[in-house]
């Protein structure tokens, strides 16, 4: 493996220390004040220029300019910083010191890998152009990427491409995965309020039973993906909440349903939302009830630009060997707000192996420290390769 940052090196040891500190002090979306302070402190210590602070509350943007002048080309690398509202069960020496909060998705590792790459590139800036480092808050459901964009991220920095990376449990340590096209699904939410007519549990004929209506909706929704969506397309419709009733002998007046819809294609998403609404309207008429249906768009699907995905693959193969890179990893029905950045700039979102660890969002999950130099070396190699390619493209243009 052609690693720039070696396992066991001083920088690797620094990265482990940073990660453990971040892991011990997990902060959920828009509350990453300690994490941002650590990032800022280490950037300043390394002599890395900070371009913007407090974007989307806690976000930080930094830059390293290459020592080979004459190019205004630039790219950006992004890492998410937030934790999850999960109680940690790992028993690690550096486990969470806050009940109910945990780095169960590896964002502590993502932040650390990007910080390590910034430090290394600042010391080895023998390239033309510039690289921006985006330390983003609030990926886990709060849309920190969207908020940074709304606050003028891509007005403050002029870049050609943007890149993201996530660790992947089950993918061997030292291996990477990348694919063009869909990588992560769009994630929408729905809430449904059913209002019937409550009454005595022994006299159902005098009621309009909201519970019965709720169960019919759940069953009917399951036919949408099975019978309305093309079998060649992928979609998930899950009812994840059913709330109704307080007593054994009372038929409740109101029932509430909620859940998620995951899709890759916009037309599939619109078809599912339309059919859900039609089913709600039809069941309401059937039972003489009132059904309020609220469908909300969440993160859009994450789609990699094919050219950029191919380029990232070549960088990975040069770094770890062709045998350690796969393009066969299936798209995930999970969602990722890096999708907003990919809507603005061409780029790619790739996976780095976390080895045989617990799954993401699991209370026993832990980011693999041995993945730190692997992911950080990928960032370094990507920057050098991407900027050299952009500069050479400019040189090759006919005058």
Q: Where are the domains of the chain?
A: 10-183+301-396, 186-299
Helix, coil or strand: residue 178: coil
pLDDT beyond 60 at 92: yes
pLDDT beyond 70 at 396: no
The model's pTM is 0.94
pLDDT beyond 70 at 3: yes
b/e code 200-236 from CB counts within 10 Å (16+ = b): eeeeeeebbbbbbbbebbeebbeebbeeebeeeebbe
Following DSSP, what letter does each residue of 114-166 receive, concatenated?
Answer: HHHHHHHHHHS--SBSEEEEEEE---SSS-HHHHHHHTTHHHHS--SEEEEEE
Domains 10-183+301-396 and 186-299 share a fold: no
**Domain 10-183+301-396 grouped into CATH 3.30.1490.390:** no
- Residue 357's alpha-carbon distances to 7, 15, 85, 169, 372, in angstroms, are 19, 19, 20, 5, 15
* The pLDDT value given to residue 2: 87
Helix, coil or strand: residue 332: strand
Average pLDDT of the residues in 95-110: 98
Model pLDDT for residues 177-212, shown as the tens digit of each residue? 999 999 999 999 999 999 999 999 999 999 999 999
| Sequence-distant (≥ 6) Cβ neighbours of residue 234 within 8 angstroms | 185, 263, 264, 331, 333
Chain mean pLDDT for the chain: 97
Band (391; pLDDT cuts 50, 70, 90) = confident
Please name the CATH architecture into which domain 186-299 falls.
2-Layer Sandwich (3.30)
* The pLDDT value given to residue 291: 98
Model pLDDT for residues 217-243, shown as the tens digit of each residue? 999 999 999 999 999 999 999 999 999
* Phi, psi torsion values for 216, nearest 5 degrees: -65, -40
């Amino acid at each position: 493996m052609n690693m720039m940052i070696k396992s066991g090196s001083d920088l690797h040891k620094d990265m482990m220390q940073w990660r453990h500190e971040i892991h011990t002090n997990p902060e959920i979306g828009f509350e990453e004040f300690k994490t941002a302070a650590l990032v800022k402190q280490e950037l300043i210590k390394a002599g890395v220029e900070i371009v913007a602070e407090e974007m989307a509350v806690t976000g930080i943007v930094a830059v390293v300019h290459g020592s080979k002048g004459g190019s205004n080309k630039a790219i950006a690398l992004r890492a998410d910083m937030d934790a999850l509202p999960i109680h940690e069960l790992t028993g690690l020496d550096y486990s969470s010191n806050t009940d109910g909060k945990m780095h169960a998705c590896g964002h502590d590792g993502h932040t650390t890998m990007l910080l390590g790459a910034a430090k290394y590139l600042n010391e080895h800036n023998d390239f033309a152009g510039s690289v921006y480092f985006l330390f983003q808050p609030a990926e886990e459901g709060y849309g920190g990427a969207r908020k940074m964009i709304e606050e003028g991220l891509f007005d403050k920095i002029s870049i050609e491409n943007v890149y993201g990376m996530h660790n992947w449990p089950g993918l061997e340590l030292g291996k990477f995965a990348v694919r063009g096209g869909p990588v992560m699904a769009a994630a929408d939410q729905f809430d449904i309020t059913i209002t019937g007519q409550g009454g005595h549990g022994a006299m159902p004929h005098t009621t309009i039973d909201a519970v019965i209506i709720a169960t019919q909706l759940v069953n009917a929704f399951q036919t949408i993906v099975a019978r309305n969506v093309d079998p060649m397309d992928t979609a998930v419709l899950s009812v994840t909440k059913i709330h109704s009733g307080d007593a054994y002998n009372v038929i409740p007046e109101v029932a509430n349903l909620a859940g998620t819809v995951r899709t890759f294609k916009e037309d599939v998403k619109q078809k599912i939302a339309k059919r859900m609404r039609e089913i709600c309207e039809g069941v309401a008429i059937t039972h003489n009830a009132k059904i309020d249906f609220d469908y909300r768009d969440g993160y859009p699907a994450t789609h990699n630009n094919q050219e950029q995905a191919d380029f990232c693959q070549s960088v990975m193969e040069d770094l770890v060997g062709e045998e350690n890179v796969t393009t066969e990893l299936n798209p995930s029905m999970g969602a990722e707000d890096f999708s907003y950045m990919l809507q603005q700039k061409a780029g790619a979102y790739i996976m780095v192996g976390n080895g045989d660890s617990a799954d993401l969002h699991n209370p026993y999950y832990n980011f693999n420290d041995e993945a730190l130099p692997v992911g950080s070396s990928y960032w370094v190699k990507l920057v050098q390769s991407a900027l050299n390619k952009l500069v050479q493209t400019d040189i090759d243009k006919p005058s």
